[in-house]
Amino acid sequence: MSFLCRIARRTLVYVTSMCLAFASLANQSFCQGPAPSQIDVETVYLFNFAKFVRWPAERDGEQLNICIAAQKAYSDSASRVVAGEQIGTRRLAVKLVSRPEDVSGCAILFVGLAAKDHLNDLLNAAAQHATLTVSDIPGFLEQRGMISLFVVNNRVRFSVNLENVDRSGLSLSSELLKVAVQVQGKSPGVGAR
Amino acid sequence: MRIESIPISKLLFLIAVAQLLGRPPMSSAEQQPASQSPASKLKSLSLEELGNVEVTTFSKESEDIWNTPAAVFVLTKDDIHRSGATTIPELLRLVPGVSVARSQSGAWSIGIRGFASGFSKGLLVLIDGRSVYTPLFEGVYWDIQDVVLSDIERIEVIRGSGGTIWGANAVNGVINIITKKAADTLGGFADVSAGGTITRFVGQVRYGMGLGTGTYLRMFAKGFNRGAEDNPLGDPYDDWHQARGGFRLDMQRTQRDSLMVSSMVYGGKTGDQNTIGEFYPPSQLVVDGEQSVSGGDILVRWDHSTPAQSNFYLQGYFDRTNRATSQFTETRNAIDLDFIDHLTTLPHQEVTLGAGLRESPSHLIQTQATVNFAPNRINNYVYSLFFQDSIRIVPDRLTLTLGSKFVDDKYSGWGTQPSAEILWRPATMTSLWASVARALRTPGRLDRDLSLLGNIAASGPNGPIFLQVEGNPQFVPEVLIGWNAGMRQLFPHELYVDIAAFHNQHDDLESYGGPAQLFTFPTNPYPYEQINIQFGNGLRGVSDGLEIAPDWKLFHWMELRGSYSHVHVALHSRPGYSQESYASSVEGSSPHREALAQAIFTLPHSVQLDADYRFVSALPANDVPSYQTANASAIYRLGEHVELRASGRNLLQPRHQETLGANSNQVSIKREAFGGLNWSW
């Protein structure tokens, strides 16, 4: 086992010296923590979307509910993101939803993979309430969804189906569309990356 | 549809969704310490910046694992990255129930649940849907199976007969290697490992780019040079070097259609040693000869999905392998077409239909009078059809899957391989499953067409003694009826436990056929004796065993994993055969007990430390004692682009033997340490 100790000691000395050497060369922050999780980035997207959507005027003053039909990890993350936040006059809140009738109070509805089999019912319910629908289920935009989140090269990006957004009476700001990877249901060229 | 008209059963399910607790199992997501809030940092970013944040993704397949009625284990890209392994077989050591024994630098004996040998049969190995087994011996040449390891998305291993859904030869298990989509490997990446006694140099480089909407291309190249392991006869014959390159192109044409084209070519040398029998003195010749290997493949796959109706894929590939050994040269082509359609139109059912066609013409050139496969030109085709119906008896609780596969091959005609599986999920974080399946291992050229003359004694009373082993044109498929059961449970505090047990009934297993016949040839000037023996389906018996694999995420910075596998094989002769010694050689060629313990540390300052220890019991048939050894690796991230790593392998002793080497050499596997560096841009 003395061999192991030798290896360990050498490795430690090596790593320490390398860290010091490189850290002095660059002024970047080394030794950073782990990358954020996909869940956190997706829920921050939901928070951001809330800023770029215009809901019909009758909703002014109401609490802005971000509804999560997904694993609890998503609603936990979303709760941390929106804690104490307000957009205009609307206070933000997170609701974990399970039944289509819960969707009535939702400004934004996120559907995760766990609720994949019930996507249809949830979207039907959302269609009656001017709700922005977001999901990371593949093929979401083809199933009447509005914003689809997906991972490219370990980065979370999104595409929009404008036709489905228009049908609901919502409007999205051009700033949002500019950043989308793809904007469907609109003349090409507008939603360039 | 109006809400009021939604049936109660659906509402009940939706309530269940709400009860989904916590995070997905095995996911690396959400490992943030509770004290700091990464979310608040993310909130300050613009939308554009948010899209450039690199994230740790969780495996979407984790949900699928809970719903798989089979013993399944997934090695993730993170596991692969941290392992310090530089070959696919070394990665497979981390999978419970898989026995990996290195017989020399570039050769392994890999088996699932017993039945391991250098010519392990009945194991289906797929690389991006391409089956890499060879009908020459119905097994896998592991020395030519390689990819850029950091481009692997995951390796799924199913233990037990996956006979129904997968291709032919999946009797003891399936190893499915899936590479990343080109969209997930954008930019440049270069990686070098060097400095070990075995791992002298491994270099890999990859570049990925976008080519317009939804189209991505990855190009890669890899080369390595590995040294010889320790041969007590002092003859280091097993140097191993190889180079390969290729590309993968992914096109998402519409939301419904995607196309994948991938291709790879390789060439290299695998050191080897053989004893060749000769009729004239000295009767046997030990030949050190490199095997020259080369080949390439191109695969096209089209995926189409119609939401809520069906998704199918159609794939075709061409695969060519060349191998020149000191005894023969084989050139083999495989042309393969597969179609699989999942239909989801029926309520509470998922129907899968599939068909496969594989033509594998080969040409063998005999280079030694003593080894031949006749005829030299042959087409080993395999046609298969299958269907499967998964019936959700109680949605998200109880699923029954029934199916069958029908396989026709060159040697044995159509065979039926039915299976039935049941899966019960009493709670979201519990699943229990059981299955029974019949699986066939189709005959290979070795069983049917071999003609091998080996010298077993350089001198005897009537001259040297030769053993003539002949393939058997009457060899029929080996039959397995496998009974499997298992459970997966996520306990509080992130303790995940996977238990699987099996009882396999084997019949028509390969052995020698009738009794050996002795002939004396008093021919001058070199008289000799010859024992003739032929393969046959002379064995039957049972194998029983279990695997327990806990995985405990103790803290966000520390994870402990382990596995214990036990297999007991008991074979005996079928009526009319007397093959007890063959039986005990099969029983004693794979370890009956294996244990693995892993400690995985994710430390502050971007340091990752991994260590594993394993115990493998003896192989009495190969005269190999039990052994225990350990691996360790450390990774240190230097900023955004550079990563350093150090690996130590087989650390507990200078050398240890794992199985018999080529030519029955008692080759020992050496301890080694090497360093590595990767750079992405």
Mean pLDDT of A158-178: 89
Cα separation values, B254 from B104, B251, B305, Å: 48, 9, 10
Q: How many CB pairs under 8 A join A and B?
A: 201
A157, part of any domain: yes
Is A15 strand, coil or helix? helix
How far is Cα B553 from Cα B599, in angstroms, rounded to an integer?
10
| Position with higher pLDDT, B120 vs B595 | B595
Least confident of A14-18, B523-527, B600-604, B635-639: A14-18
Q: pLDDT (tens digit, 9 = 90+) per residue, B110-126?
A: 999 988 776 677 888 99
Residues in chain B: 681
pLDDT band at residue B249, thresholds of 50, 70 and 90? very high
Residue from A6, A12, A27, A71 whose CB has the most chain B CBs within 10 Å, to mutate: A71
pLDDT at position B490: 83
- Whether residue A31 and residue B606 make contact (CB cut-off 8 A), yes or no, is yes
pLDDT at position A4: 39
Q: Are B410 and B381 in contact (CB under 8 A)?
A: yes
Is B609 strand, coil or helix? strand
- Whether residue A44 and residue B18 make contact (CB cut-off 8 A), yes or no, is no
Contacts of A36 in chain B (CB under 8 A): 32, 38-39, 41-42, 53, 55-56
Closest residue in B to A68 (Cα) is B18
Partner B, chain A 24-83, Cβ-Cβ below 8 Å? 26, 28, 30-41, 43-45, 47-48, 52, 69-73, 77, 80-81
Ordered DSSP codes for B522-536: --SSS-EEEEEEEEE
pLDDT at position B574: 94
pLDDT at position B93: 95
Burial B46-77 (b: 16+ CB within 10 A, else e): ebeebbebebbbbbebbbebbebbbbbbbbbb
Q: pLDDT (tens digit, 9 = 90+) per residue, A23-35?
A: 333 333 333 445 6
- Whether residue A151 and residue B646 make contact (CB cut-off 8 A), yes or no, is no
Task: Report residue B285: phi and psi, to 5°.
Answer: -130, 120
pLDDT at position B507: 95
pLDDT > 70 fraction of chain B, expressed in percent and rounded? 91
Shortest Cα–Cα distance, B47 to chain A (Å): 7
Closest residue in A to B218 (Cα) is A153
Mean pLDDT of B578-605: 91
The closest of A89, A7, A84, A170 to B671, measured between CA atoms, is A7
Ordered DSSP codes for A25-68: H--S--S--PPPBHHHHHHHHHHHHHHHEE--GGGTTS-EEEEE
- Whether residue B651 and residue A3 make contact (CB cut-off 8 A), yes or no, is yes
A158, part of any domain: yes
| Position with higher pLDDT, B234 vs B246 | B246
Candidates B20, B24, B255; nearest CB to A141: B255
Candidates B47, B307, B651; nearest CB to A48: B47
- Whether residue A33 and residue B21 make contact (CB cut-off 8 A), yes or no, is no
Is B356 strand, coil or helix? strand
Candidates A28, A35, A52; nearest CB to B56: A35
Q: How many CB atoms lie within 10 A of CB A1?
A: 7
Closest residue in B to A7 (Cα) is B648
- Whether residue A44 and residue B43 make contact (CB cut-off 8 A), yes or no, is yes
Has residue B325 got a pLDDT over 60? Answer: yes
To 10 degrees, the CA torsion angle through B30, A69, A53, A174? Answer: 60
Give yes or no for A15 touching B (CB within 8 A).
yes
Shortest Cα–Cα distance, B187 to chain A (Å): 9
Give yes or no for A154 touching B (CB within 8 A).
yes
Write out the H or E segment, with its range, that includes residue A174.
helix A174-179
Closest residue in B to A137 (Cα) is B60
| Position with higher pLDDT, B415 vs B168 | B415
Give yes or no for A111 touching B (CB within 8 A).
no
Has residue B473 got a pLDDT over 70? Answer: yes
Range of the domain at A90: 3-29+36-184
| Position with higher pLDDT, B218 vs A90 | B218
Check residue B24 and report its DSSP letter.
P
A192, part of any domain: no
Contacts of A32 in chain B (CB under 8 A): 606
Give yes or no for A6 touching B (CB within 8 A).
no
Q: How many CB atoms lie within 10 A of CB B123?
A: 23
Shortest Cα–Cα distance, B188 to chain A (Å): 12
How far is Cα B480 from Cα B439, in angstroms, rounded to an integer?
5
Q: pLDDT (tens digit, 9 = 90+) per residue, B18-50?
A: 333 223 333 333 333 333 456 677 888 888 888
Shortest Cα–Cα distance, B496 to chain A (Å): 17
How far is Cα B449 from Cα B136, in angstroms, rounded to an integer?
9
- Whether residue B18 and residue A97 make contact (CB cut-off 8 A), yes or no, is yes
Has residue B1 got a pLDDT over 60? Answer: no
Cα separation values, B393 from A36, B353, B390, B424, Å: 39, 20, 9, 10
Q: Are B280 and B526 in contact (CB under 8 A)?
A: yes
Check residue B4 and report its DSSP letter.
G
A113, part of any domain: yes
How far is Cα A67 from Cα A33, in angstroms, rounded to an integer?
30
The CATH number linked to A66 is 3.40.50
Closest residue in A to B648 (Cα) is A7
Give yes or no for A117 touching B (CB within 8 A).
yes
- Whether residue B186 and residue A152 make contact (CB cut-off 8 A), yes or no, is yes
pLDDT at position B9: 39
Has residue A87 got a pLDDT over 80? Answer: yes
Closest residue in A to B185 (Cα) is A153
| Position with higher pLDDT, B23 vs B573 | B573
The CA-based angle A56-A59-A65, given to 5 degrees, is: 115
Contacts of A153 in chain B (CB under 8 A): 183-187, 208
Give yes or no for A152 touching B (CB within 8 A).
yes
Candidates A11, A52, A120; nearest CB to B634: A11
pLDDT band at residue B58, thresholds of 50, 70 and 90? low
A191, part of any domain: no
* Sign of the dihedral defined by the CA atoms of residues A173, A174, A180, A186, in that order: positive
How far is Cα B264 from Cα B296, in angstroms, rounded to an integer?
5
Is B290 strand, coil or helix? coil
Has residue B7 got a pLDDT over 50? Answer: no
ipTM beyond cut 0.85: no
- Whether residue A98 and residue B30 make contact (CB cut-off 8 A), yes or no, is no
Judged on CB neighbours under 10 Å (0-12, 13-18, 19+), A57 is: exposed
Shortest Cα–Cα distance, B28 to chain A (Å): 8
Mean pLDDT of B437-460: 87
Contacts of A99 in chain B (CB under 8 A): 11, 14-15
Give yes or no for A21 touching B (CB within 8 A).
no
- Whether residue A152 and residue B183 make contact (CB cut-off 8 A), yes or no, is yes
Mean pLDDT of B554-578: 92
Contacts of B10 in chain A (CB under 8 A): 118, 121
Q: pLDDT (tens digit, 9 = 90+) per residue, B532-560?
A: 889 999 999 999 999 999 998 888 788 99
Q: pLDDT (tens digit, 9 = 90+) per residue, B143-176?
A: 999 999 999 999 999 998 864 566 667 888 899 9
Mean pLDDT of B327-341: 94
Has residue A44 got a pLDDT over 90? Answer: yes
pLDDT band at residue A89, thresholds of 50, 70 and 90? confident
The pTM for the full model equals 0.80
Mean pLDDT across chain B: 86
Closest residue in B to A21 (Cα) is B638
Mean pLDDT across chain A: 77
Shortest Cα–Cα distance, A62 to chain B (Å): 23
The closest of B347, B11, B307 to A116, measured between CA atoms, is B307
Mean pLDDT of B264-275: 92
A190, part of any domain: no
Contacts of B429 in chain A (CB under 8 A): none
Shortest Cα–Cα distance, B19 to chain A (Å): 8
- Whether residue B43 and residue A47 make contact (CB cut-off 8 A), yes or no, is yes
Contacts of A179 in chain B (CB under 8 A): 47-48, 51
What's the distance, CA B106 to chain centroid?
A: 16
Has residue B65 got a pLDDT over 90? Answer: no
Cα separation values, B115 from B49, B139, B535, B585, Å: 53, 12, 17, 10
The closest of B613, B622, B489 to B550, measured between CA atoms, is B489
pLDDT at position B16: 38
Q: pLDDT (tens digit, 9 = 90+) per residue, B365-411?
A: 988 877 889 899 999 999 999 999 999 898 778 999 999 999 999 88
pLDDT band at residue B62, thresholds of 50, 70 and 90? low
Shortest Cα–Cα distance, A59 to chain B (Å): 22
How far is Cα B237 from Cα B226, in angstroms, rounded to an integer?
12
How far is Cα A129 from Cα A122, in angstroms, rounded to an integer?
11
A132, part of any domain: yes
- Structural domain count of chain A: 1
- Whether residue B604 and residue A37 make contact (CB cut-off 8 A), yes or no, is no
pLDDT at position B166: 61
- Whether residue B15 and residue A99 make contact (CB cut-off 8 A), yes or no, is yes
Shortest Cα–Cα distance, B296 to chain A (Å): 27
* Sign of the dihedral defined by the CA atoms of residues B91, B93, B96, B101, in that order: positive
